[in-house]
A and B are shown apart, each in its own frame.
Chain A
Amino acid sequence: MTVAPTGKRKLDWLAAFLSYLLPGLGQIVQGRVGKGILYFVCLYGLFFYGLSMGSWKNVWLGDYSQQSGGGVMGFKLPGFTKDLSYRKEFAGQFWIGIAAWPAVLQYQTTEPIPKSDDPGKESWQPAPNKLFGSYMQVPPEAELNKLQRDADKRWDLGWVFTVIAGVLNILVIYDALAGPVIRDEDEKAAAAKPAGGAA
């Protein structure tokens, strides 16, 4: 039975931010430890399982500033949004929190991807980051092609897992912010309400 929420919900912005950083951390701080651990295990499990399915090379954001294309429905996008239009998956993966930050750091420090008609594009290899190496760094095109060709669809399924984990964490953030959709006190209030809706 779905019960309409009664009363105003108190919003816990700090817990929401903590749950963004680490899935379930906000719930643990709120005292809902079991639920926090459930979120952490399920979402990190899903995210890193997907990452491993893609040979640890399916979460990244590249610098496509030198490309002439990019955009949404014919509209050209500026800067970061243009890069995101080339790698839309990252818009979902980002919400897993700290686990996706190496990709943001790599995006900031890796040189732009050469133009499509650049003769050196085939052999282009980005310099590894001093801290993370090539972890969550944009892979060279030749390597991407090889992964997609040889990975028996698991590479593609892997990024789907990581995107779902990130998007599910948005629900977890909302749970930390405002509590679950159906609250025990709402049900008690609905049960205590006399039949016919009279207050």
Chain B
Amino acid sequence: MILFAATSIYWDLPVLLIAVSLVYSATRHDRWDRIVKEAAGWIVRMVGFLGGLGVVLYILSTYPEYWKIIAGIGIVGTIIYYGYSMKLFKKRAKPAAPIPGAK
């Protein structure tokens, strides 16, 4: 286990995640606060996605007999997560009522 932790290729992934997030965010903004904020958002999203996928695959390989339930939970969880992150479930704001007497 220790040997696996020491030699695993997963230790190389943070370099990729940080570099990709920072460079992509810097091509979208010029202000440093926005670059850092967007890069942090991308890191969280990518780690969440890859980590979630890893957890689902680990549970599937540990309990293969429950694959239908695990796959169902995974699919529903993904839909809910991306639905919220893409603001699909939020109520759209109604347009403001016109001010009486205004043109």
Question: Residue of B at shortest CB range from A153?
Answer: B9
* Complex Cα–Cα for A88 and B78 (A): 33
Most chain A C-beta atoms within 10 Å of own C-beta, residue among B9, B19, B32: B19
Question: Residue of B at shortest CB range from A158?
Answer: B12
Q: Given contacts A39-B23, A157-B9, A174-B27, are A49 and B15 in contact (CB under 8 A)?
A: yes
* Complex Cα–Cα for A49 and B12 (A): 9
| A-side interface residues, number (CB < 8 Å) | 29
* Complex Cα–Cα for A157 and B15 (A): 12
Restricting to A130-189, which residues have a CB under 8 Å from any CB of B? 152-154, 157, 161, 164-165, 168, 171-172, 174-175, 179-184
Most chain B C-beta atoms within 10 Å of own C-beta, residue among A152, A165, A172, A180: A180
Q: Is B24 an interface residue (CB 8 A)?
A: yes
Q: Kindly list chain A residues whose C-beta atoms are within 8 Å of the C-beta of B9.
A: 152-154, 157
Comparing A30-38, A59-67, A93-101, A110-118, the segment that makes contact with chain B is: A30-38
Q: Identify 26 residue pairs between A and B in the complex whose beta-carbon atoms are under 8 Å apart, listed by A's number.
A: A32-B30, A35-B30, A35-B35, A38-B23, A39-B26, A42-B22, A42-B23, A43-B19, A46-B15, A152-B7, A153-B9, A154-B9, A161-B12, A161-B15, A165-B19, A168-B20, A171-B27, A179-B30, A180-B27, A180-B28, A180-B30, A181-B27, A181-B28, A182-B28, A184-B30, A184-B31
Q: Kindly list chain B residues whose C-beta atoms are within 8 Å of the C-beta of A182.
A: 28-29
Most chain A C-beta atoms within 10 Å of own C-beta, residue among B16, B27, B28: B27
* Complex Cα–Cα for A34 and B30 (A): 10
Q: Is A69 an interface residue (CB 8 A)?
A: no
Question: Residue of B at shortest CB range from A184?
Answer: B30
Task: With A154-B12, A175-B26 given, name 18 new contacts (CB 8 A).
Answer: A32-B30, A35-B26, A35-B35, A42-B18, A42-B22, A42-B23, A46-B15, A46-B19, A46-B20, A152-B7, A153-B9, A154-B9, A168-B23, A171-B24, A174-B27, A175-B27, A180-B29, A182-B29
